[in-house]
Each structure stands twice: as structure tokens, then as C-alpha cells.
């Protein structure tokens, strides 16, 4: 039996499992028993409360959606009774929205695991919170004053957990803002971030009036508004309380009682990132402890935003062509294989277009490579503007591009290719070297019904068709059938 470190030279640890699904009960109970824990399982809220009263557990694993009483209500019942309020409760649920997770923490939970769960993760979190529970007991015995600090640490922990789950900038901004403002009991707020051009822009809002479209369009006269508009000219490094902000007068109307406005500048290694703005509930007073907490939250939030930005930058570098902004060849093949599998599985049409810029070497030789790059970008943009949202365009290499068209047979693809050819040909492309006229040759291949054709074979057919367009005079579309049994070509 694998004995948990929590169990070595320690009294028995009792864990109560509350879940109405027998399979989950059995998996958790058997797995935790092998780790040396004593477990009990009950299927609903009333039985959970009875089990707690009969034999106090050291930790509870609690589902949310159950008959008779949901997990939130069970948690609130336990936290309302001082005999049970210190029992760590870990929610395990398939509900994964930000509000669901925040509600679990607000109800009194110490952690949140989404289903389907990984057992090793459950064990790790159980051990973590049993350790935290033991530490909490020691702290409670040492000093009552630590209660306030524990509350702050708990708030920071919840915020950190939410922010650590964010993998995209959108998740970090919107989910992070909602979590922070909910836990700080703010009635509304917003987040501004400095973009790559150095402009402070609205990134996320929470409970602002629906008439507000973009706070960056509004003008305020307080120090935080000046910082928002031109952060280089106004130094703002600490949470700033603005009792009468002109910005809020424009949001809520000058006739209304304006809420308190707290502006927290976000920085990373001394470099401004943006501002976190919150409007506390009317009865709240911003104490020095709350300002200190806000500074710590600001540091956490800044680091999360920068991490999300870095992740998105890395993702972009790994998947896109830096010159045209299209997908690169490697990422195209990854997405193309998915499209091929879907077309084959559901027997749906799929076509490919290969095209390149005619006599592109002459453009480079005549105008230089800088103008050549401008022509490449312009051609890619013109073609992208004609394509549908599901169509997938990528830079294939040099002046050659590839397009995958789902739900499109060869004849429809031929029509699409002809639109591309015409859209590129006129008008001439404006460049630093003057107007440059170019044309493209296109090869089309596809099937109305799928057999065992691969992506490589489809692209080889399109490549043969492109070669025929080049051989027959350029600036034209050639369509080629792509069956293994027969290869039929049609000239556009």
C-alpha cells in the first residue's frame, strides 16, 4: 500500500466523500484507502451533514449537483457552525464557469477540481490542504491577530488559483478581473492595458453600465485618468483613491451619487502594464491593510498578464508566418490533417488551392526585396479578404501559398480560385517603389467524395494543376481531379 506522507507517524485521517455517482465514490474511496486514508461515502447533502455530526472528518470532497441539497448549501451549513467551519472542503464538479468556481470559494471551499478528475491531482490537493489545515491550527493557537492576515492570504490564494488557470490573455483579463472584484466586494470595475504601440486601451469590464463602450474614449481630469491617457507624463505607482472622478461623472451621470474610485497601477519590473480600477461598495472604506492587499493583488495580476502575453506571443511565433501574418507551413499541415480526417469521416467535399505570384523574381530584381515583401503581404491580404471564415490559407514557401476549402467540391473551388485571381490582378499594388501589377497562377484539386486520399496526395494534385497553369501561360486557374484510379484534368 502506498502510504501518503500525511499518514506517516500520524493519527488516522478521515475523509468524507459526498457524491451521488457510485463510480466516483468507489474510485475516490478505494484510491484514498490505498494511500492510508480512512474514508466514508454518502450520496447527498442531508446524509453528508449527518455524517459530519456523527464523526468529524478531517477533510471533505464535495460534489455540487446532488439531489435534495446542492454542494454550495452543504458547505454554507458547515461553515455556519463553528464546530465544523474549519473542515477543509474541496469541491469536485463538472461545472467549470468562473462564477461557479468563485461561488464555491465564496461558500467556503478551499479548492476546486473539475470533472473528469485525475486521481493523482486529487491526492496532491488533499495532501496540500491537510498540510494547510495543520498549519492553520498552529497559527490559530499562536495569535488571534493572524485571522486578518489569513483572510488576506486566503483571498490572494483564491485569486492566484484563478489566475494560474488562465492560459490566454482573454482568460487572464476577463476572468481575472471578475474574480478580483468579486472577492474584494466591488460593485464594478475595469481593466486597461498598454498595447504594443504604447496606447492604454480598455481590456475588460465588470458591471459597468451598458452605455459604456470604451472608457478610453472618455476624458477624466483626476490623476488616475491622466495616467490612463498618458502614463509617461503622470507618475502613479500606488493605489490611488479618487473621491470625485470626472470619468465616473460621464459614466453614471453628474446627478447621481458617484462611487469611490480606486485606481491600482499595474507594473512589471518597474514598467507600466496598465491599471486595475475598482468601485467599492458604498459602505466600504479603503484601509491601509486593503491598500497593501491591493498592491499584492496588482503584482499577481501584472505577472499573470505578462505570462499570458508571452504565451500568446510564443504561440503566434510557432504558428504564423512573420511576413504575411498567415499560418506557416508547419501549422497548416497540422490543421490540414484535422480537416482531412473530418472530411473522410463524414464523407464531405474538400478542396485545395496552390497559387504563386507570376514572375515574382522580376519584382525583386526590379524593385528590391523590400518592395517584394510588400507585394507578398498585399497578395496574401487580398486573397484572405475573398475567402470564407472556415477557409484555411497559409504561406507554403517563398511566393507560393496554399488554401484548404472545407465543404467545397472541385467546381466550387475553381470558382473561388477565379475570384482570387481577379482580386489580385486589379488594381495595382501600391508600394514604396510605386504601383506594381502582379498576377497569380492557381492549381485546384479536390473531391466530392472521399476515399483514403491523404493531404500530401491532395496537395500533389494541386501542385500538378499549378504547374499546368504556369506552362499554359500563367495568370490562370487549372483544376485537376484527384482520384487514385484516374487523374482527370480540366483547364479553366
Catalytic residues, which ones?
Answer: 399
- The CA distance from 107 to 74, in Å, is 9
Whose CA is closest to 62, among 24, 29, 19, 100?
19
Cis peptide before 194 (omega within 30 of 0): no
- The CA distance from 234 to 342, in Å, is 55
**Are residues 381 and 452 in contact, defined by beta-carbon separation less than 8 angstroms?**
no
In angstroms, what CA-CA distances link 149 with 152, 182, 222, 283, 489?
5, 19, 32, 22, 76
DSSP-assigned beta bridge partners for residue 115: none
C-alpha cell at 241: 483613491
477 Cβ contact partners less than 8 Å away, ≥ 6 residues apart:
414, 417, 418, 421, 442, 443, 444, 469, 492
- The CA distance from 123 to 19, in Å, is 17
Phi, psi (5° rounding) for residue 479? Answer: -110, 135
Number of Cα atoms under 13 Å in the Cβ half of residue 363: 24
In angstroms, what CA-CA distances link 210 with 39, 254, 348?
50, 17, 43
Angle (CA) 152-153-158 rounded to 5° is: 100
User: What pairing do the DSSP bridges indicate for beta strands 440-447 and 477-481?
Assistant: parallel
Q: 3: how many CB neighbours lie within 10 A of its CB?
A: 11
Amino acid at each position: 500500500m502506498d502510504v501518503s506522507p500525511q499518514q506517516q507517524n500520524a493519527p488516522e485521517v478521515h475523509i468524507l466523500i459526498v457524491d451521488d455517482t457510485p463510480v466516483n465514490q468507489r474510485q475516490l474511496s478505494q484510491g484514498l484507502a490505498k494511500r492510508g486514508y480512512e474514508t466514508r461515502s454518502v450520496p447527498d447533502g442531508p446524509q453528508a451533514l449527518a455524517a459530519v455530526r456523527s464523526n468529524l472528518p478531517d477533510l471533505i470532497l464535495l460534489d455540487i449537483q446532488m439531489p435534495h441539497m446542492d454542494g454550495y448549501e452543504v458547505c454554507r451549513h458547515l461553515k455556519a457552525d463553528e464546530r465544523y467551519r474549519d473542515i477543509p472542503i474541496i469541491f469536485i464538479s463538472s461545472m467549470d464557469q468562473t462564477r461557479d468556481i468563485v461561488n464555491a470559494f465564496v461558500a467556503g471551499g478551499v479548492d476546486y477540481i473539475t470533472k473528469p478528475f485525475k486521481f493523482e491531482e486529487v491526492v496532491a490537493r488533499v495532501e496540500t490542504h491537510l498540510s494547510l489545515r495543520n498549519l492553520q491550527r498552529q497559527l490559530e493557537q499562536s495569535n488571534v491577530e493572524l485571522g486578518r492576515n489569513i483572510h488576506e492570504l486566503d483571498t490572494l490564494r483564491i485569486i492566484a488559483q484563478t489566475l494560474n488557470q488562465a492560459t490566454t490573455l482573454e482568460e487572464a483579463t476577463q476572468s481575472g478581473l471578475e474574480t478580483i472584484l468579486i472577492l474584494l466586494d466591488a460593485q464594478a470595475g475595469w481593466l486597461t492595458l498598454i498595447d504594443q504601440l504604447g496606447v492604454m486601451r480598455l481590456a475588460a469590464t465588470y458591471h459597468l453600465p451598458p452605455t459604456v463602450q470604451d472608457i478610453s474614449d472618455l476624458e477624466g481630469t483626476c490623476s488616475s485618468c491622466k495616467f490612463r491617457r498618458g502614463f509617461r507624463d503622470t507618475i502613479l505607482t500606488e493605489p490611488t483613491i479618487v473621491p470625485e472622478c470626472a470619468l465616473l461623472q460621464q459614466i453614471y451621470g453628474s446627478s447621481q451619487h458617484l462611487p469611490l474610485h480606486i485606481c491600482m497601477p499595474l507594473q512589471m519590473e518597474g514598467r507600466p502594464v496598465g491599471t486595475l480600477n475598482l468601485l467599492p461598495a458604498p459602505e466600504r472604506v479603503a484601509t491601509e491593510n486593503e491598500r497593501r492587499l491591493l498592491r499584492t493583488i496588482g503584482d499577481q495580476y501584472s505577472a499573470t498578464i505578462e505570462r499570458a502575453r508571452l504565451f500568446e506571443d510564443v504561440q503566434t511565433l510557432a504558428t504564423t508566418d512573420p511576413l504575411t501574418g498567415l499560418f506557416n507551413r508547419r501549422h497548416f499541415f497540422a490543421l490540414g490533417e484535422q480537416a482531412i480526417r473530418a472530411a473522410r469521416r463524414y464523407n464531405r467535399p474538400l478542396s485545395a488551392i496552390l497559387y504563386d505570384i507570376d514572375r515574382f523574381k522580376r519584382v525583386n530584381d526590379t524593385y528590391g526585396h523590400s518592395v517584394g515583401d510588400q507585394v507578398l503581404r498585399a497578395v496574401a491580404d487580398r486573397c484572405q479578404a475573398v475567402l470564407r471564415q472556415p477557409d484555411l490559407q497559409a504561406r507554403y514557401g517563398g511566393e507560393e501559398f496554399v488554401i484548404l476549402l472545407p465543404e467545397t467540391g472541385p467546381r466550387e473551388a475553381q470558382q473561388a480560385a477565379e475570384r482570387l485571381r481577379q482580386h489580385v490582378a486589379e488594381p495595382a499594388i501600391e508600394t514604396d517603389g510605386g504601383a506594381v501589377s502582379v498576377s497569380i497562377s492557381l492549381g485546384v484539386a479536390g473531391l466530392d467524395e472521399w476515399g483514403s486520399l491523404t493531404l500530401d496526395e491532395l496537395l500533389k494534385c494541386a501542385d500538378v494543376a499549378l504547374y499546368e497553369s504556369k506552362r499554359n501561360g500563367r495568370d490562370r486557374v487549372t483544376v485537376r481531379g484527384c482520384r487514385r484510379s484516374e487523374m482527370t484534368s480540366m483547364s479553366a
